[in-house]
Structure 1
């Protein structure tokens, strides 16, 4: 685990297991593969995009499959992530 503090990061950035404090992500591709969740404190995201690969990608694909109303599983997804409910 690495700590990044008071920096500006651009390009590809690995998130798994890292901590970011007072970091500006400018034109960055933030990669998360499902390992130890990263930590963020007072960070700014300017034209940054997230890429979920590995286990994280599989999980998001499962949630996307469950989310449509026709599956009758949307309440399950919202129960897993209550923050999504207004």
Structure 2
């Protein structure tokens, strides 16, 4: 879902403010893929950089891992997907 969000930090800040204390957010998205280029979506994310953005938005217990890889799944390119978890 974050692929379509131009202001990631703004969204994360809003989500953090909306969550109840101890609330958890799960994000499933694509790992960065340099073969993808489109002016309306990100070409995936580097997990370490995204975890840092979550931490900058005050989330804690941020973790992520790749769980899926498939051919021709992201704009007709091979891609992998990750799940990220964070807590307020």
Q: TM-score range by the shorter chain?
A: under 0.3
TM-score normalized by the length of structure 2:
0.22
Work out which structure has the larger RCO, using CA pairs closer than 8 Å and 6 or more positions apart in sequence.
2
Radius of gyration: which is bigger?
Answer: 1
TM-score normalized by the length of structure 1:
0.23
